[in-house]
Structure 1
Amino acid sequence: MSISEESSWIGREVQGEVATLRLQRSQAGNRLTNDMALALAEALDSVRESRVIVLGADGADFCLGRDMAPPPPGAGVNAADVLRDDASPIQVLYEAFGRCRAPVLGLVAGRAWGIGLVLAARCDLTLCEEGSSFALRELERGIPPCIAMAPLLDRMPAKALAHLVFAAEPIDAREALAAGIVGRVVESGRLQAEGDALVQRLLSFPAPAVQAVKQFLATAPRHHESNAVLYGAGLLANVLGSR
């Protein structure tokens, strides 16, 4: 399978101010290969100036994880191997999310496991259908999912994240909502309609204000409260001053 063929597993459509990206490898549960991760990062970069970016998936499941097997015992894997083959493609993808000025809206149906859960959580807004499930089951294969956990550290309560990883069992849509992985649970069959309505709601707001909120949410939690207030005041001043 060539990189160009794997890139075709990432759908991209731009209509006006809205860009839609889709995982299109439903025959394999939309499992993400390294080249798919890089292709998704490139797609995010190509549409990052859109007003809204929607991330969805074809098929019954959003994403069943990464398409890579752990090395066999005694393979002599070193840190450089892990960084190159495991961490680097995913870090590139995480960084592409961070470069998007527009809010990214995730639409999740079915199973979002492994990196699928991370993608759902990494979106700025995430809707999921009733009946969806979420899991980080890497410990069952003897893999500590630290790379997957990295973006979840400031998105999930510590106890919820620890239980998700240590129990290695799927949680349902309502549990994912309580854990901060998704923002809203919608009725089965209503995912696209609810997503379209939310997109239109976002487009009704001034773009600079929406972008400032996204920037604040991405940066302020790392600051002490008083510094976060000052940072937010600076963003507000920029928005008001640009009117």
Structure 2
Amino acid sequence: MLYTSDQTASFPSHTLRYLKTSLREHVLTLTLNRPEKKNALNPVLLHELAFAMAYAHYEKEVWMVVLAAEGDTFCAGMDLKSLSTGEAETATVPEPSGPVRLAELLAALHKPCIARVQGPVYAGGFLLVGGCQYVLASETATFSLPEVKRGLFPFQVMASLLEIMPARAVLDLCLRARTLTAPEALRLGLVTEVLPADNLDGAVVQLTEELKQYSPTALQFGLRAYQQVKSLPPDRQQAYLFEQFQQIQQTADAREGMAAFVEKRKPRWNSYEL
């Protein structure tokens, strides 16, 4: 994380410029709010996202995150104009301790993340979509990597997509800059569900309500293990996962889950214990 828990304790009191936030019933919704710029990611928005993600990681009342966007475009990727001209805006959050890499931020969240994709996704916007466990997309949404048209290449996006899509499909998307429809993105694993635009909000609510039925501690343990095990050699993976299972059995949520099962009632979950 690029911020400490002490730094993010003040998150609710900050006024953000390009990111709308709402925390309701354990769901933190982060809405990109630069519709006039197609929600392109400039330095201020990137820092606001990093600050919000760190808050979500540390805050026990946050059980999951929803990424959404205002306007007709989900995200146009990096704001190349602001990056090339070095235009400076007044900061809205503390300076992060290092460069903001969206894929790393989402991987370190360790809480379920849902993308509500209402419109086109371009270039670096794939890092937001690719880092979520669930992507609910409008049937009119499209997905495109146009970097090669500008003499660039989507290096970070390529690495992110290789974890969720077939390698040849990823390379083709990067090399030919072609546009995927929502149904095509669904077939390739980039999207998890395609819906009429009017049904997006209802589907997000339904999914978050379902996830709330399960132990937030167990979900966090699982997502953390998913990230950690990838960096371990094969002969260490099972030992690590066994250690994780031993640890999770000692949590209050594990005790509550077993008690609820025996007593044939719904469990009453606590917040995260990590």
TM norm structure 1: 0.83
The aligned runs of 1:1-243 (5 Å cut-off) are: 7-48=16-57, 49=59, 50-69=62-81, 89-91=99-101, 93-223=102-232, 227-242=236-251, 243=255
Over 6 Å off, 4+ runs: none
SS for the counterpart of 2:67 is strand
Structure 2: 5+ residue stretches without partners: 1-14, 86-97, 256-274
Contact 2:165 2:189 in 1 (8 A): yes
Aligned length: 222
Please report the RMSD computed on the Cα atoms of aligned residues, expressed in angstroms.
Answer: 2.2
User: C-alpha deviations, 1:42-92, integer Å up to 9, x for none?
Assistant: 1111222310111111111111121114869xxxxxxxxxxxxxxx7442x
Distance 1:152 1:143 in 2: 17
Cα separation, 2, equivalents of 1:216 and 1:168: 34
Q: Is the 8 A contact 1:7 1:35 kept in 2?
A: no
Q: Distance in 2 between matches of 1:30 and 1:162?
A: 25
Percent identity of paired positions between Structure 1 and Structure 2: 27
SS at 1:241's partner residue? coil
CA deviation string 1:174-230 (max 9, x = no partner)? 221222222222233111110111001111101121112212332334456664433
Could you tell me which runs of 5 or more consecutive residues in structure 1 were left unpaired when the two chains were aligned. 1-5, 73-87
Deviates more, 1:215-224 or 1:178-187: 215-224
- Residue type at the aligned position of 2:146: R
Whose helix proportion is higher, 1 or 2? 1
More divergent stretch after superposition (233-242 vs 123-132): 233-242
Question: With structure 2 as the length reference, what TM-score do the two structures score?
Answer: 0.74
* Larger Rg belongs to: 2
